[in-house]
Amino acid sequence: MSAMQRKKRTEAFLLGNEAVAEGALLAGCSFYAGYPITPSTEIMEVMARRLPHVENGVFLQMEDEIASAGAIIGASLAGRKVMTATSGPGFSLMQEQIGYACMTETPLVIVNVMRGGSSTGLPTSPGQGDVQQARWGAHGDHPIIVFSAADVRECLEMTITAFNYAEKYRTPVILLLDEITAHTREKIEIPRPGEFEVLSRLLPTMPPEWYKPYEETVRGVPPMPPIGTGYRFHVTGLTHDPLGFPTSRPDEVKAVTERMFRKIDRFFHDIQIVDHDQTEDADTLVIAYGSVARSARLAVRQAREAGVKAGLLSLKTLFPFPRPHVEKLLRTCKLVLVPEMNMGQISREVKRVNCGITTIRTINRVDGQIITPSQILKEIA
Amino acid sequence: MKEQITLDRFEIRLSGLGGQGILTLGKLLGHALALGHGYQVTQTQSYGPEARGGSSRADLVVSSHPISYPKTERLDFLVALSQEACNSYHHLLKKTGVLLVDTGLVKQTPTNVFLGLPFTELALERVKVPQAMNTVVLGAVTFLMPFAKRDVMRKSLLANLPEKIHKVNLKAFALGYDQARRLLAQPIDLKNGEDESAAKRGDMNLTDIMVED
């Protein structure tokens, strides 16, 4: 093979789910534990085929989703980059473990491919009903990062970003897809290693006897050695002191909780990712995410052709909610539409930010069908 | 030899019953059009929870430009391999859209303007493998779509199917292609569709492009 050929990227015709798995492998994921569930199963299938060929790669099929989340937390503490994927019913089961991962500041990536309905719902149909659950599903005050993706290329990119941010901020990152994004096949170019940034967690540089696992640092993110490398290691879901042992001393509890929030809060500008499409001069704005953002893109294009100044703000970060981006556009637009495949979960956030600045109209669809471009266009016109 | 044609959202729906191989057909077609022909393609699917018997469909949008909405809205080409599919989706065809049915399974078409071949019968009697029906369809579809190239489709077929069934599927593909050439005479004429979209651009009315689903 010549040098020219080797430089060429591979083109592939992939499902959104398959692109997630490719992204995970490119980001350095070497441990996957999961339990299959429609419509996320293809992620697990690809990982099962590919991980045995990765150096030290481990793939485990677990007995359920609780165990899956537990297994990836353990592997992450041992120094691996880890992922699991599920859908609504499995995501509910994982919530306790997600809270544990937040408290112990364990980096991990959980992909939730949202299906329609609550409970077992509509296994093969799309929905976007888990948005607020992804933010607030685990009990207690906790910061968390929630991403979404609209097309196959974004599935790959946002998975890599999810791994990077999990490691950088020592936090669980949830990637929310919907059935349409997950089950759409498209052509993508698979980037080659070195063409994108790959981040790993901060390791301690001090001698083991000086190391305090949850000590305050400049960024608020404490360094994290893998278990078994000589550094003191104590992990607990109880509120802990800088050494990692349980404490109920108010000053220590306050300090650790506030640091956990601060490590995310201070980097909102880094974490809040959005995409602008013709928003500069728009007076009608659509705010959308996931596959609905694609419908909105066509609707906005058709509205522009008909002379309406429409624009689209598509959200790739759902939480922390990209308030600065939204707020700025609320001031310049007369009408803001929020189409979602739920009864109004991101529109709550938009309304919270709005405080009466402009008119917000929601478009909700909960019949297991995608919101079509014409449905959005009707509201724009 | 067919030339490279510029397309603006050519929408295809392949529909029928679970177990007919509709999703595989969609994947093969999408793979060939995206990687072999160099078009932008989105292929989506919809199916019931049943492994066999439920309704099943695969949608493809083919375009020379980036595709925003990945699903189909107004069909240019509908392939219906069951009576139910034909009934349910016929109304989504554009005025200039083309309907292709399995004449053995679709007894009543909602219009006289349709193309048909007995795909299931062909697979059963000529290939002796009923499961190869979807590849017979792929052959016919390849002939009918003026922008689809035969050799590229064959390559996609070989790349996506396990080796032990290559031979039988190549036979089925050739059969479908030849039957279509002999009995359906000529590929779909894209000109009508272009006229329609040109008219749309000239005199734009939002209600014209809105579709109830």
DSSP secondary structure, A249-286, as one string: -HHHHHHHHHHHHHHHHTTHHHH--EEEES-TT-SEEE
| pLDDT of B203 | 43
Q: Does A124 contact B27 at a Cβ distance shorter than 8 Å?
A: no
Place of tokens 């419509």: A39
Look at residue A279 and tell me whether its pLDDT is greater than 90.
yes
Residues of A contacting chain B (CB within 8 angstroms): 11-13, 123-124, 151, 180, 183-187, 291, 294-295, 297-298, 301-303, 305-306, 369-370, 372-374, 377-378, 381
* pLDDT tens-digit series, residues A167-221: 999 999 999 999 999 999 999 999 998 899 999 999 999 999 999 999 999 999 9
Round the average pLDDT of chain A to a whole number and report it: 95
Question: One-letter amino acid identity for A115?
Answer: R
3-state secondary structure of A309: coil
Q: Does A186 contact B43 at a Cβ distance shorter than 8 Å?
A: yes
Low-confidence ranges of chain B (pLDDT < 50): 193, 195, 197-209, 212-213
Regarding predicted confidence, which is higher, B205 or A231?
Answer: A231
Cα–Cα dist A269/A267, whole Å = 5
Q: How far is A294 from chain B (nearest CA, A)?
A: 5
Indicate the residue of A185, A369, A381 with minimum beta-carbon distance to B206.
A381
Indicate the residue of B41, B45, B48 with minimum beta-carbon distance to A183.
B45
Question: One-letter amino acid identity for B29?
Answer: L
Q: Does A372 contact B69 at a Cβ distance shorter than 8 Å?
A: yes
| pLDDT of B55 | 86
Q: Does B40 contact A373 at a Cβ distance shorter than 8 Å?
A: no
Any alpha helices (H) in chain A, and if so which ranges?
3-7, 16-27, 41-50, 65-77, 88-103, 131-136, 152-169, 179-182, 250-265, 268-271, 291-305, 323-332, 346-354, 373-380
Just give the CATH number of A10-190: 3.40.50.970
* pLDDT tens-digit series, residues A82-141: 999 999 999 999 999 999 999 999 999 999 999 999 999 998 899 999 999 999 999 999
* pLDDT tens-digit series, residues B144-163: 999 999 999 999 999 999 99
Would you state the structure tokens that stand for residue A170, as one six-digit string? 């020592």
Q: Which are the contacts of A275, defined by CB distance < 8 A and separation ≥ 6? A: A293, A312, A313, A314, A316
3-state secondary structure of B139: helix
Cα–Cα dist A68/A62, whole Å = 6
Regarding predicted confidence, which is higher, B189 or A15?
Answer: A15
Q: Does B40 contact A185 at a Cβ distance shorter than 8 Å?
A: no
Best CA proximity match to A169, nearest among A136, A142, A134: A142
Domain A275-380 top-level CATH class: alpha beta
User: Measured between alpha carbons, how far is residue B195 from residues A168, B10, B35, B93, B192 in Å?
Assistant: 54, 14, 28, 16, 5
Look at residue A264 and tell me whether its pLDDT is greater than 50.
yes
| pLDDT of B50 | 67
User: Measured between alpha carbons, how far is residue B153 from residues A23, B32, B150, B166, B169 in Å?
Assistant: 28, 6, 5, 13, 12
Q: Does B210 contact A124 at a Cβ distance shorter than 8 Å?
A: no
* pLDDT tens-digit series, residues A294-329: 999 999 999 999 999 999 999 999 999 999 999 999
The domains of chain A are located at 10-190, 208-271, 275-380
Q: Does A295 contact B44 at a Cβ distance shorter than 8 Å?
A: no
Domains, chain B, ranges and CATH? 10-162+171-178 (3.40.920.10)
Would you state the structure tokens that stand for residue B71, as one six-digit string? 């699903």
Indicate the residue of A184, A186, A305 with minimum beta-carbon distance to B204.
A305
User: Which value does ipTM take for this structure?
Assistant: 0.85
B-interface mutation test, from A187, A291, A372, most B Cβ less than 10 A away: A187
CB contact at 8 A, A179 and A126: yes
